[in-house]
């Protein structure tokens, strides 16, 4: 059933109830219940298709307090996967961003009887990510932040015995990164961009992205229907990031031609699987161990995180 000509109410393609979302790229309009069921099915499809993890494994979900990661945790919990959350407090003061995000993650965990692990970077490591970036000359906040988050996620997954670290990257996120990597023909990043990054060392857990088949607006609608109380504000450092620019371009293309983002990203994954993009994964195998923290590293001496932390003293 399409629209109702009398009232212009949009109708669910599956049951005829009032629809909450129109997804022209899938030729679907869905009511709240069917949207929740469909979104969950798509996440399960990604888990199965890319062999992300099994019901027997424990998953560490990286939660930021935003809609995607909380919706991901919600979906994994509803699907019966054993999961715990990890919130990394980065020390971003702007309008209390980090504190408010932690509160949102904690509220979600409490409401669902789930465990949230919290690592406050300032408390555990003596300075916040923002301070470290400021003190290290030329250190761009997001690259410092990314390095710190990767280090902590790996540490927490290893110490907690988790099989995989799941992040809430959606199709829009992945397509935007793909566009930027393609513009630069960055072979290294292209070869590593995938819904599954296998573990290449016992101390480095597998990284998985179960939401890669879902558009950002589908996740926003899911969070709304499921009444997930998330922080709407983006990280203030995300402003002006190239990925936001790339998302805008892709949205323009999508408006002209629904399904373009989906084709762009899924086509890339097929090409990657078919060997079109050479993998240089073997070049990345860490052979040494950091003298300070014990995490694997490529060169001898300190790992990138410990080097950064020393340089920011
Ligand atoms: S949290 Fe960190 Fe992002 Fe904020 S400082 Fe940049 S990298 S934008 S995903
Ligand atoms: Zn319906
Ligand atoms: Zn180290």
Q: Which of 82, 156, 95, 94 is nearest to 120 (CA)?
A: 156
Pairing of strands 116-120, 206-208: unpaired
Distance from residue 129's CA to the centre of ligand 1 (Å)? 10
Tokens representing residue 297 in the block: 């590293």
For 80, phi and psi rounded to 5 degrees? Answer: 90, 15
Check if the beta carbon of residue 205 is closer than 8 Å to that of residue 163: yes
Residues 6+ apart with CB under 8 A from 99: 89
Distance from residue 64's CA to the centre of ligand 3 (Å)? 24
pLDDT tens for each residue of 14-71: 999 999 999 999 999 999 999 999 999 999 999 999 999 999 999 999 999 999 999 9
- Percent pLDDT > 70 in the chain is 95
87 lines ligand 1 (CB under 6 A): no
Residue 79 has pLDDT above 90, yes or no: yes
141 lines ligand 1 (CB under 6 A): yes
Ligand 1: nearest atom to the Cα of 146? 7
Ligand 1: nearest atom to the Cα of 236? 4
pLDDT tens for each residue of 258-300: 999 999 999 999 998 888 887 665 556 777 899 999 999 887 7
Distance from residue 259's CA to the centre of ligand 3 (Å)? 43
pLDDT at 210: 98
Tokens representing residue 134 in the block: 């400021």
Site to probe by mutation for ligand 1, drawn from 63, 142, 148 as the one with most ligand atoms within 8 Å of Cβ, is 142
pLDDT tens for each residue of 186-215: 888 898 899 999 998 999 999 999 999 999
Angle in degrees, 0-180, between the axes of helices 242-256 and 260-273, rounded to the nearest 10: 110
pTM: 0.94
* For the CA of 309, the nearest ligand: 3
* For the CA of 121, the nearest ligand: 1
Ligand 1: nearest atom to the Cα of 142? 6
140 falls in which pLDDT band (50, 70, 90)? confident
| Residues with C-beta atoms within 5 A of ion ligand 3 | 290, 292-293, 303, 306
């Amino acid at each position: 059933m399409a629209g109702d000509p009398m009232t212009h109410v949009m109708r669910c393609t599956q049951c005829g109830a009032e629809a909450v979302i129109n997804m022209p790229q899938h030729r679907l309009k869905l009511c709240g219940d069917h949207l929740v069921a469909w979104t969950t099915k798509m996440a399960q499809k990604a888990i199965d298709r890319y062999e992300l993890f099994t019901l027997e494994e424990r998953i560490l979900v990286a939660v930021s307090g935003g809609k995607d990661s909380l919706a991901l945790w919600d979906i994994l919990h509803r699907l019966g996967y054993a999961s715990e959350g990890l919130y990394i407090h980065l020390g971003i003061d702007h309008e209390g961003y980090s504190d408010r995000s932690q509160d949102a993650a904690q509220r979600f965990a409490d409401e669902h009887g789930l465990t949230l692990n919290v690592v406050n970077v300032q408390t555990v490591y003596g300075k916040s990510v923002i301070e470290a970036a400021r003190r290290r000359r030329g250190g761009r906040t997001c690259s410092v932040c990314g390095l710190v988050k990767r280090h902590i996620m790996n540490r927490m997954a290893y110490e907690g015995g988790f099989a995989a670290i799941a992040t809430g990257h959606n199709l829009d996120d992945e397509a935007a990164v793909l566009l930027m990597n393609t513009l630069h023909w960055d072979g290294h990043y292209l070869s590593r961009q995938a819904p599954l990054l296998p573990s290449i060392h016992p101390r480095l857990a597998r990284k998985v992205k179960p939401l890669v088949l879902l558009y950002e607006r589908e996740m926003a609608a899911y969070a709304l229907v499921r009444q997930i109380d998330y922080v709407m504000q983006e990280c203030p450092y995300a402003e002006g990031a190239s990925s936001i620019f790339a998302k805008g371009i892709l949205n323009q293309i999508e408006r002209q031609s629904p399904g373009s983002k989906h084709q762009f990203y899924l086509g890339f994954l097929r090409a990657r699987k078919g060997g079109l993009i050479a993998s240089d994964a073997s070049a990345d195998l860490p052979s040494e161990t950091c003298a300070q923290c014990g995490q694997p590293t490529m060169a001898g001496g300190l790992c990138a995180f410990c080097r950064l932390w020393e340089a920011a003293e």
